[in-house]
Amino acid sequence: MQDNCQALYNIPTDLEDFDALVSQASRESPPASFFQLEQSSTRTAKLAIDQGERLIEVEFPPLPADVLDSEDVSAYDVAKANLRLALDFGKYFSVEHEMETAILVPDEAELDIALEDMQNNRPYPNLQINALLRKESDASGDQVREKGQLGFMEFLFGGNAGEVQPIPGTKLYIIITASAQELPDVEKLYEETRDDDATICFYNMKLDILRGDLGAPAFPPKDLQDRFLSRVKPVYYLRTRQYSRSVSKPPFILNYQGCLFRTYPGEFQTLLDTGTGEYRRVKSNKIRPALGEFKEELTQALVTDGLIDEEGKVLGFLRTGYKTTTWWEEEREDASLEWRM
């Protein structure tokens, strides 16, 4: 698979021509299939790790858009899809590069759910599925956990108790299905594995949404964003957004959508969905645009295309309101802006 990736994307094996690689990545198009997505996300993650990145993010829709929008799809279905994708992602590192890799779910209760279709927690060589919070220390990291170890009453009333316990020898931790409450635990894992030169990958965690929950009652404080989360590097990022706009002629409501796309080490691309199954690049940014900026870039593309009329400042203000950013995107006093890099 490594050779296929290099042939497909023309990656300089010695990385001497890094500027050319940045230019190439900045022109890359969104994947046409999950197979291509898998190739691209593993390639960019490996490149970022080789460049010394220790906090990385991989984010994309885990299921096709029509499936995700279906009322029949549950959080369980999405979690299962993310686990399957994370297994393929982790297999690339554990098998192709012989890197000790661990996929971590939040706690032992969710670990039992993750293992319900498996014989044990080691599906591939050098790859294990485990819990971020564990009750019992596994000093060697080699223990094979059989499914169903967690008792039924423990599952109901005490399954999520435990402590952060790094797995000795692990070089890549892939965090999946965690909520905002577990983010401080991920920070603790990072602090305890810094001397091990380990990388932590936030895999389809929807960090943008979790960041927005910080500071609310019963949630971690906002300073977690500036202290820790702002340092997470989006190495493969594909987030789609849908909008609607009233217009003065039929059909009077214009629905449009686009995506913010980035493959490391390229720029952040604002892409407009043309409605033909393809995207058109609207703008490329060296720094990550805030959500309001991204929407405005898409809207201006529609103005240029003549699909909507340019608005005056007053009407534009009434439509968008005063705030077009979330709190963590604002340039606050002493705020970290590393999240834009």
Give the pLDDT score at 17.
78
Rounded to an integer, the average pLDDT of 41-68 is: 94
- Residue 341: pLDDT band with limits 50, 70, 90: confident
Whole-prediction pTM? 0.85
pLDDT above 50: residue 242:
yes
Q: Which domain holds residue 98?
A: 61-231
Give the pLDDT score at 145.
59
In a domain, 244, yes or no: no
99 and 198 housed in the same domain: yes
pLDDT above 80: residue 217:
yes
Give the pLDDT score at 192.
96
In a domain, 237, yes or no: no
Tokens of 290: 């805030």
Give the pLDDT score at 312.
43
183 and 321 housed in the same domain: no
Rounded to an integer, the average pLDDT of 291-319 is: 71
179 and 290 housed in the same domain: no
**How many structural domains is the chain composed of?**
2
pLDDT above 80: residue 287:
yes
CA 288, chain centre distance (Å): 14
Least confident of 53-67, 287-301, 317-331: 317-331
Per-chain mean pLDDT for the chain: 85
224 and 267 housed in the same domain: no
159 and 259 housed in the same domain: no
Give the pLDDT score at 13.
47
3-state secondary structure the chain: CHHHHHHHHCCCCCCCCHHHHHHHHHCCCCCCCHHHHHHHHHHHHHHHHHCCCCEEEEECCCCCHHHHCCCCCCHHHHHHHHHHHHHHHHHHHHHHCCCCEEEEECCHHHHHHHCCCCCECCCECCEEEEECEECCCCCCCCCCCECCCCCHHHHHHCCCCCEECCCCCCCEEEECCCCHHHHHHHHHHHHHHHHHCCEEEEECCCHHHHHHHCCCCCCCCCHHHHHCHHHCEEEEEEEEEEEEEECCCCCCEEEEEEEEEEECCCCEEEEEECCCCCEEEEEEECCCCCHHHHHHHHHHHHHHCCCCCCCCHHHHHHHHCCCCCCHHHCCCCCCCCHHHC
Give the pLDDT score at 311.
55
99 and 225 housed in the same domain: yes
Q: Give every CB contact of residue 188 below 8 A, 6+ residues apart in sequence.
A: 164
- pLDDT tens for 74-87 read 999 999 999 999 99
If you average pLDDT over each of 123-137, 183-197, 242-256, 273-287, which comes out highest? 183-197
pLDDT above 60: residue 152:
no
Rounded to an integer, the average pLDDT of 129-154 is: 61
In a domain, 38, yes or no: no
